[in-house]
Amino acid sequence: MSQPPAFRVWALPGLPEVRPGDDLAKLIAAAVDEGGSAGLVDGDVLLVTSKIVSKAEGRVVEATDREAAIDAETVRVVARRGPLRIVENRIGLVMAAAGVDASNTPAGTVLLLPEDPDASARRIRDGVRAALGVEVGVLVTDTFGRPWRNGLTDVAIGAAGVRVLDDLRGGVDAHGNALEATIVAAADELAAAGDLVKGKAEGLPVAVVRGLSHLVPGASGGGTDDSARALVRVAAEDMFRLGTSEAVREAVTLRRTVREFTAEPVDGAAVRRAVAAAVTAPAPHHTTPWRFVLLESEHARTELLDAMRDAWAADLRADGFTEESVAKRLRRGDVLRNAPYLVVPCLVMDGSHTYPDARRNAAEREMFVVTAGAGVQNFLVALAGEQLGSAWVSSTMFCRDVVRRVLELPEDWDPMGAVAVGRPAAPPRPRPERDADAFVAVR
């Protein structure tokens, strides 16, 4: 009977206090020679705490204010709750405080993460190979919290000579079922195993794992090294990239007027989810004054836009514009014609109050128009959250009767423009900076 799979993990004793400029590979090799342990063999994996890598690389900086150091290492705030910040740091990791650590370092200083943890791991691997003649894998590890889970664990932030992701797709399980989505974060599992023996306060910053040489391709003379960057999910695939309040602000910021769309079909369910967000807008008198007409068929879009074009052209000609000017102005409607999906938001005055004077009646209608705008803004922001571009164009307001006739809408449905929806054909241009104070009056 064959032996069941097994591995061994132990902490490496005998490492001195690491100082800037130290050669970590030599310190580890010396600890292996002097520690009376099992030494190192081809296929072993060294798990090296990032703190000692940072110290050796001189990433100890003066910082009377840790928050300022976090600011300097942060490229994006993901979530904030009181003083705690989850951020994306300069090396692309999403973690608390950008990895800036004020523990195990002299007062008045902080430790920054290595500038390039993969390069750090390669230097240690190459140095150990030169000193001891063995082909090992190296992981640089750091402590992370995790969404939805209490407690901390070590993960790999740098790697050399280790297959960081063990791709099992294409295989089968014990019951013969095909594995279609199974990719194991092997490097993180190794890091967590090492942390069980290194501990957080025992002064044992390096551990060794033996028995998993299939994850060290170089030990068998084949394969390629993986970078720990492969463990970081790219933004386009990250469904949980933002905290709640940050997601709202990000969606508002991402809401842009898109004028060129791809031909990719729009998921009607996504639009309906955006409508569900739209109808949460504030409204007067506990009313629900929003209606959204979804033009999902090309025939419906073409029929409406053709009728609107004819109505605009007639108005422009009546105003004395030349045919050239008429054609130029009609081209402004191309953003609607080129979109794969159109929505016509409408206002209904159900529940509005009638007053004995024109002034209050005008104010009543304005109040409903404002709430229609709030609903449309909710709609546009929600579309951005669905990664859909949009353009709100006022065109239907200039030919409301035509829109109601073509779309067979009730007479009391008041079209409030049209929204073109689709996948943006190009990234948005940089938005000009606006100083919020320029739009504020304080009394």
Kindly report, residue by residue over 341-391, the tens digit of the pLDDT.
999 999 999 999 999 999 999 999 999 999 999 999 999 999 988 889 999
Burial class (CB in 10 A: 0-12, 13-18, 19+), 258: buried
222, 392 contact by CB (below 8 A): no
Least confident of 223-232, 319-328, 377-386, 392-401: 223-232
* CA–CA distance, 424 with 405 (Å, rounded to integer): 31
pLDDT at 241: 77
pLDDT at 255: 83
The Cβ of residue 237 has, within 10 Å, a number of other Cβ atoms equal to 7
* Max CA distance (Å), the chain: 98
The highest-confidence range among 82-86, 186-190, 330-334, by mean pLDDT, is 186-190
Mean pLDDT of 11-37: 86
Beta strands in 69-178, from DSSP E residues, in sequence order: 74-81, 84-89, 94-96, 109-111, 137-146, 149-160, 166-167
Banded pLDDT at 37 (limits 50, 70, 90) = very low
Task: Tell whether the model's pLDDT for residue 82 goes beyond 80.
Answer: no
Least confident of 168-172, 257-261, 267-271, 316-320: 168-172
Banded pLDDT at 218 (limits 50, 70, 90) = confident
pLDDT cut 70: percent of the chain above it = 94
The Cβ of residue 187 has, within 10 Å, a number of other Cβ atoms equal to 30
pLDDT at 288: 95
Averaged pLDDT score across all residues of the chain: 89
Task: Tell whether the model's pLDDT for residue 78 goes beyond 70.
Answer: yes
Residue 400's nearest CA partner among 347, 331, 443, 329 is 347
Q: Is 143 helix (H, G, I), strand (E, B) or coil?
A: strand
Return the H-helix or E-strand segment holding 271.
helix 268-278
- Count CA atoms within 13 Å of residue 120 on its CB side: 29
Tell how strand 94-96 and strand 109-111 pair up: unpaired
Domains observed in the chain: 8-59+114-237 (3.30.1330.100), 244-439 (3.40.109.10)
Hey, what amino acid is at 263? Answer: A
pLDDT at 36: 45
Could you identify the residue written with the tokens 């791991």?
A: 121
The Cβ of residue 65 has, within 10 Å, a number of other Cβ atoms equal to 9
Residue 90's nearest CA partner among 127, 59, 65 is 59
pLDDT at 12: 93
Q: In this structure, what DSSP letter does residue 105 have? A: S
Task: Tell whether the model's pLDDT for residue 175 goes beyond 90.
Answer: no
Mean pLDDT of 228-237: 88
Contacts for 426 with CB less than 8 Å, ≥ 6 apart: 260
Residue 169's nearest CA partner among 189, 190, 184 is 184
Strand partners, 142: 155
The model scores a pTM over 0.75:
no
pLDDT at 262: 95
Higher pLDDT, 4 or 271: 271
Concatenate the DSSP letters of all residues of 18-40 into one string: --TT--HHHHHHHHHHHTTS---
Kindly report, residue by residue over 290-331, the tens digit of the pLDDT.
999 999 999 999 999 999 999 989 989 999 999 999 888 888
**What's the token pair of residue 97?**
């405080």
Hey, what amino acid is at 415? Answer: P
Mean pLDDT of 7-36: 89
Banded pLDDT at 201 (limits 50, 70, 90) = low
Strand partners, 109: 62
Phi/psi of residue 432, nearest 5 degrees: -60, 140
For residue 351, the Cα-to-chain-centroid distance in whole angstroms is 42
Mean pLDDT of 405-412: 96
Burial class (CB in 10 A: 0-12, 13-18, 19+), 297: exposed
* CA–CA distance, 144 with 207 (Å, rounded to integer): 18
Beta strands in 271-397, from DSSP E residues, in sequence order: 290-295, 341-347, 389-393
* CA–CA distance, 132 with 340 (Å, rounded to integer): 64
H helices of 50-154, where?
Answer: 50-56, 66-73, 117-132
pLDDT at 180: 65
Beta strands in 231-308, from DSSP E residues, in sequence order: 290-295
Task: Tell whether the model's pLDDT for residue 1 goes beyond 60.
Answer: no
Hey, what amino acid is at 219? Answer: A
Q: Is 309 helix (H, G, I), strand (E, B) or coil?
A: helix
